[in-house]
Chains A and B, each alone.
Chain A
């Protein structure tokens, strides 16, 4: 099979409220940063994939609204609705299709302009569920409870994820919430939806990220070192909440297995050097790690306490600060991807980990991680 690589990344700083920036302003900034990172001009881009969601954008057909600022005028531009990792998946397939060599993928959102819970409430079934008031927070609160119930993970262990990631964010100038906090601070923060405290939850954020994905034939043509896509897969679970065992994430296990197989990874615990995973809520980091086989079942909390997932640990997880430190939905997965790309290139600055040959990126879509997208990126082709 032909190969593809990520040859440029660009992100705005993640902020609580980018009052001065429109979506186009943010896209313009992120795209130009990615082009500069790659050593490309907009003319080197063959086609564009934007990632957006109409309700977060507050407009219909939102994919068309940032095309101009992304340099998509007169190009083939298309849109993916969902997390940026899914936009990147489509971008990669386009670069591998033979029709295009380079794809610019963007993802943007401004949580500050909407009320997220109203949007996520509308994701629930209109006949059976929506009027009960479920939203992403309550959905994830239930998932957290079932995960804790099954694995005996403690609130303290969950809080420690928040402590670690906010601490890591202090080394990342693009992060929204660098904080030096304690487990006690997390446990004492306001209860939002039991068992989730405020500091177990990611913040409302604004930001835009862009990545450029190139076919192997042009991947080394530009100035940037390519980071190779070795494996990628996504997989979805049932829509209705009650149909799933909420304490398990079959779709993630499946997606990770396929991505490992594609990348030739036999023992992910040993072969993955660095991971950026979707920690929209503290428990998710632990749960996703276990479901991807990066920690044994029901052990992630204990391994976290041992320091395994710290920047200096065995497997640094969310060294960038993760989404707990800034969570522009839709763009989020592209931020994670860019963070791993920088780690592998050795460009991560303050949050650079020691060994970063092979990295893992995980994005998700849907309520309580209904669908997951797993990427294996590598220094070597």
Chain B
């Protein structure tokens, strides 16, 4: 202790002292496990109250809402979360872990219900916001304290596909026409942006399977818009009645088509010329001629198209999907004559060969666009070598995309993207995410496709680029 005279108070002096008392704070079993788990496993653990289901962070012994003993009910709450509150500390003091200015924040980790405090760094003070996503950065050296999490930092939010596309050079076709051989010999042409299509409904996927299946024109418009936002350049549509039944009604189909175009004018809309089971030839093609969409599906062979139990092999619904040579020819001609670009659906190599035969008549405009469909009960299952065989059988300048039923969706689009082809996803083909959870909508499956393109370094095609690549009329 030291004494000092107070300025201006000659009759008073002060004694300079300190309250510094050593103290041992036991962390208890809960606090100890919390800290050691951070230190040893880089995991942040909370405790869940079995009575009220609240996951507490920091962990504690007792739920203060219902007085339940919760000390052993550990849950991993993850290492990323959201800022729920913060302040910028603008003063320096002994108790502060950083020089001012720095940010202290309340952070709600994804698996916890209560936010906890920590330091937020690696971002500008003015960029800190309630709701921003952050993740833990663990300390290099342990102190056996809460500072074994050194701080939290913002999770870089990926720019949207549209922002990213605006920031790159637009793709233009080579002056020299692409040669078929470019896609041969194990050297896929990945220079073209990849076109992502979202098949929003199909004829058979119903709302009891996935509540995001659109039925009304307005629902189609909303779903299509979400898919476009996520990176799709095209949607494939089977219009539905309000009760979910596939329809060949021109007015309903036109209303659906227009609703999508009104909401998202640049998106390519591809209508089905299959429509649904039991539709007549006339019902199937007249609506295409009436509505004249950007693109329409063109099916290439008569085949079984059944619903079977894939585990037991038992047949639920038996159906022959009729696509005679005449239909292939007449539908194809009708489409070309009406400025509708056919998307040629090949369920196996036979369908492809049928098309190549008919194509000798010369009415198909170049480039031809093929879709390899996998996993239909009656068509072929996805096999990597079959895919390559089909790709190698394509005419020069042809484009190919692919889609697969159920879990075949992901491997087939990945292979297509890898080989320079395009990708189709959506609730028509598959209702689940790769982890088996229901997709929140076709847009979530589009996000998966965007991730595949990203991981292969392929740009995602804008709608303009997609039109140019596929030879679809300008919007």
B104 CB-CB contact with A under 8 Å: yes
Type the 1/0 row for B96-122, where 1 means its CB is closer than 8 Å to any CB of A: 111000001010100000111111000
Kindly name the residue among A118, A121, A122, A133 whose own CB sees the greatest number of chain B CB atoms within 10 A.
A133
Tell whether B94 is near chain A: CB-to-CB under 8 Å.
Answer: yes
B106-158 interface (Cβ within 8 A of A) = 106, 108, 114-119, 130, 145-147
A17-44 vs B, CB cutoff 8 Å, 1 = contact: the mask equals 0011000000000000000000000000
What separation, in Å, do the CA atoms of A128 and B145 have in the docked complex?
8
Q: Is A179 an interface residue (CB 8 A)?
A: no
- Tell me whether B57 and A133 are in contact (CB under 8 A): no
Nearest neighbor of A126 in chain B, beta-carbon distance: B25
Tell me whether A193 and B87 are in contact in the complex, defined as CB-CB below 8 angstroms, given that A20-B12, A242-B108 are known contacts: yes
Contact A242 B9 (CB under 8 A): no
* Separation of A125 and B9 alpha carbons in the complex (Å): 40
- Please pick, from A19, A20, A127, A194, the residue contacting B146 in the complex, using a CB distance under 8 A: A127
What chain B residues lie within 8 Å of A127 (beta carbons)? 25, 27-28, 31, 34-35, 58, 145-146
Interface presence of A310 (CB below 8 A): no
**Which of A122, A145, A193, A239 counts the most B-chain CB atoms under 10 A from its CB?**
A193
Query: Given known contacts A19-B6, A127-B27, A194-B90, is B85 in contact with A146 (CB within 8 Å)?
Result: yes
Chain B binder among A83-91, A134-142, A265-273? A134-142
A196 to B91: give the CA distance in the assembly, Å: 12
Interface flag for A2 (CB, 8 Å): no
CB–CB B97/A133 < 8 A: yes
Tell me if B17 is interfacial: C-beta within 8 Å of chain A: yes
Interface centre among A55, A121, A128 (most CB of B within 10 A): A128
With a cutoff of 8 Å between Cβ atoms, the chain B residues found around residue A145 in the complex are 85-87, 130
Are A241 and B106 also in contact (CB < 8 A) when A20-B11, A131-B97 are?
yes
Chain B: minimal CB distance from A25 (Å) = 11
Structural contact, B27 and A142, CB atoms closer than 8 A: no
Asked if A58 meets B17 with Cβ closer than 8 Å, knowing A133-B98, A243-B114, the reply is yes
Looking at chain B's contact residues, is the secondary structure mostly helix, strand, loop, or mixed?
Answer: mixed
In the assembled complex, how far is the CB of residue B23 from the closest CB belonging to chain A, in whole angstroms?
A: 8
Contact B146 A133 (CB under 8 A): no
Taking a contact as CB atoms under 8 Å apart, the answer to whether A129 and B146 are in contact is yes
Shortest CB-to-CB span from B110 to chain A, Å, is 14
Instruction: Return the contact of B89 from the options A138, A240, A246 (Cβ within 8 A).
Output: A138
B430 to chain A, nearest CB (A): 40
B-side contacts of A133, CB under 8 Å: 89, 93, 95-98, 104, 119
Residues in B with CB closer than 8 Å to A240 are 56, 58, 60, 114, 116
- Scan residues 221-239 of chain A and give those whose CB is less than 8 A from a CB of chain B: 238-239
Q: Are the CB atoms of B58 and A125 closer together than 8 Å?
A: yes
> How many chain B residues touch A (Cβ–Cβ < 8 Å)?
45
Name the B residues within 8 Å of A131 (CB-CB): 97, 145-147
| Chain B minimum-CB-distance residue to A146 | B85
- CB < 8 Å neighbour of A128 from B11, B58, B108: B58
Binary contact readout B357-401 vs A (1 if CB under 8 angstroms, 0 otherwise): 000000000000000000000000000000000000000000000
A218: CB under 8 A from chain B?
A: no
Which B-chain residue is minimally distant from A238 (CB atoms)? B64
Alpha-carbon gap, A133 to B64, bound state (A):
25
| Interface residue? B159 (CB, 8 A) | no
B14 within 8 A of A: yes
The answer to whether the Cβ of A61 comes within 8 Å of any Cβ in the partner chain is no
A192 on the interface (CB 8 Å rule)? yes
Report how far A149 CA is from B93 CA in the complex, Å. 28
Which of B95, B115, B116 counts the most A-chain CB atoms under 10 A from its CB?
B95
Confirm or deny: B19 has a beta carbon within 8 angstroms of a beta carbon on chain A.
Answer: yes
Taking A127-B31, A132-B97 as contacts, is the C-beta distance between A141 and B87 under 8 angstroms? Answer: yes
Is the CB–CB distance between B119 and A132 below 8 Å?
A: yes
Q: Of all chain B residues, which has the CB nearest A144?
A: B87
Q: A370: shortest Cβ distance to chain B, in Å?
A: 12
A180 at the interface (CB under 8 A from B): no
| Residue with the highest number of chain A CB atoms closer than 10 Å, among B90, B104, B117 | B117
Least CB distance, B378 to chain A, in whole angstroms: 57
Q: What separation, in Å, do the CA atoms of A129 and B14 have in the docked complex?
A: 33
B88 at interface (Cβ–Cβ under 8 A)?
A: yes
- For residue A140, which residue of chain B has the nearest CB? B87
Contact A117 B108, beta carbon cutoff 8 Å = no
- Please indicate the chain A residues that have their CB under 8 angstroms from the CB of B88 in the complex: 191, 193-194
Interface digits, A176-187 against B, CB 8 Å rule (1 contact, 0 not)?
000000000000
In the bound assembly, the distance between CA atoms of A115 and B98 in angstroms comes to: 18
Residue A68, interface by CB 8 Å: no
* Cα separation A128 to B58 with both chains bound (whole Å): 7
In the complex, A175→B97 CA distance in Å?
A: 35
Please give, as numbers and ranges, the residues of chain A lying within 8 Å of B89 by CB-CB distance. 133, 138, 193
Complex interface bits, B290-321 against A, C-beta within 8 A gives 1, otherwise 0: 00000000000000000000000000000000
Chain A 133-176, CB-CB to B under 8 Å as 1, else 0, gives 11101100110011001000000000000000000000000000
B104 touches A242 (CB 8 A): no
Chain B residues 235-264 with CB under 8 Å of chain A are: none
Give bound CA distance, A55 to B145, whole Å.
24
Docked complex Cα distance between A242 and B64 (Å): 13
CB distance from A54 to the nearest CB of B (A): 8
- Residue of chain B at shortest CB distance from A143: B85
Cα-based distance from A141 to B104 in the complex (angstroms): 10
How far is B64's CA from A190's CA once the two chains are assembled, in angstroms? 39
Given A131-B145, A138-B89, A194-B87, are A55 and B19 neighbors across the interface (CB < 8 Å)?
A: yes
Q: Which residue of B lies closest to A20 (CB)?
A: B12
The residues of B that contact A115 with a CB separation of less than 8 Å are 93-94
Q: Given A193-B88, A241-B117: A132 and B106 within 8 A (CB)? A: no
Instruction: Check A192–B90 contact: CB distance below 8 A.
Output: yes
Name the distance in Å between A93's Cβ and chain B's nearest Cβ.
Answer: 25
Shortest Cβ distance from A141 into B: residue: B87
Compute how far the CA of A310 lies from the CA of B96 in the bound complex, rounded to whole angstroms: 38
The docked-state distance in angstroms from the alpha carbon of A135 to that of B91 is 12
Roughly how many angstroms separate A141 CA and B57 CA in the complex, as a whole number? 21
| Sample of 9 A–B contacts (CB below 8 Å) | A20-B11, A58-B17, A132-B97, A142-B86, A193-B88, A195-B87, A240-B56, A242-B117, A243-B56
Q: Give the interface of A toward B (CB within 8 A).
A: 19-20, 55, 58-59, 115, 117-118, 121-122, 125-135, 137-138, 141-142, 145-146, 149, 190-196, 238-243, 246
Query: Which residues of B are in contact with A by a Cβ distance under 8 Å?
Result: 6, 9, 11-12, 14, 17, 19, 25, 27-28, 31, 34-35, 56-58, 60, 64, 84-91, 93-98, 104, 106, 108, 114-119, 130, 145-147
